[in-house]
Amino acid sequence: MALSKIPRDRNLTYGLVESLGQLIVTGEFDAKAFPTEGELSRQHGTSRSVTREAVKMLTAKGLLQARPRQGTSVTPETQWNLLDPDVLRWLLERKFSLRLLAEFTEMRLAIEPAAARLAARRADPEAIAHIRDGLRRMIAAGVGDEEPVTADIAFHTAILAATGNRFYAQLDPLINTALRISIRFTNRIKGRAAGIAGHDEVLDAIAAGDAERAGLAMHALISDALQLIEAAAENPGATGARRSRRAG
């Protein structure tokens, strides 16, 4: 529930992690080599301690590797830990591509229907209340920029939590990040009413303990989103993705 209390920017190290993480995923160091510790420190005006600690954190996320004499280098993209919330966030926010969003949604298409089935089998009244609360907020939300999105996210993460499976629950921050970007697509194209109806069907099935129906309903929901994303990917510009700010 509570946001992380760790100060991400009032702290040189975390700030540097953010900067470097974004630079790395945007391919800043594809051509030129990654700088040495000394250069990095000079370029960012940080001490070597801070620089080294930031590099170590990025190493832990699979983005960098360091060896004496060879220096520090960006690891091949295949080794990046895409399932790390920070890495996914940097990619989606700083190097957005419909392709990547489609791939992630493709994984959601496997995960979330299964989560809905588990939730239907296991959710206790309290967990169901959380899911219902998300939907209620979706319905109550006006056309404000934030609330409809956060309510939708709350709905999905409440279902993940209701599975009672720690690995599903762990996907919360990833889905959170991806949905914040993804929802703009689906809402713009499908009407709000249709979206809410789909979510309501999921909740209804879970509350009724009908695993099969819950899975199918969730599958339909995400399948729709995936199709929209894939269509946009193949036909860029036609969906209004580019002139998004105006639609309100």
Partner DNA sequence: TTGAGAGTAATAATCATATAATATGTTCGC
Partner DNA sequence: GCGAACATATTATATGATTATTACTCTCAA
Beta strand pairing status for 71-74 and 64-67? antiparallel
Distance from CA of residue 239 to its chain's centroid?
22
**223 touches its own copies (CB under 8 A):** no
End-to-end Cα separation, the chain, in angstroms: 28
25 binds, among DNA, its own copies, none (CB under 5 to 8 A by kind): none
Residues 3-22 that bind DNA (CB under 7 A): 7, 10-13
The answer to whether residues 153 and 187 touch, using CB atoms and an 8 Å cutoff, is: no
The answer to whether residues 135 and 196 touch, using CB atoms and an 8 Å cutoff, is: yes
From the list 41-49, 79-87, 156-164, 170-178, the region that binds DNA by CB under 7 A is 41-49
Residues 130-149 that bind its own copies (CB under 8 A): none
**Residues in a beta bridge with 72:** 66
* 174 sits in which H/E element: helix 172-189
Binds its own copies by CB under 8 A, chosen from 53, 133, 204, 210: 53
Those residues whose C-beta lies under 8 Å from the C-beta of residue 136, and which sit 6 or more positions away, are: none
Q: How far is the CB of 195 from DNA (least distance, A)?
A: 39
- Cα dist from 90 to 25, 82, 97, 123, 178, whole Å: 7, 10, 12, 33, 11
**129 touches its own copies (CB under 8 A):** no
**67 touches DNA (CB under 7 A):** yes
**71 touches DNA (CB under 7 A):** yes
**43 touches DNA (CB under 7 A):** no
The answer to whether residues 196 and 203 touch, using CB atoms and an 8 Å cutoff, is: no
Binds its own copies by CB under 8 A, chosen from 82, 181, 183, 231: 82
Note the residues at the interface with its own copies (CB under 8 A): 4, 6, 13, 17, 49, 52-53, 56-61, 65, 67, 78-79, 81-85, 100, 103-104, 106-107, 109-111, 113-115, 118, 165-171
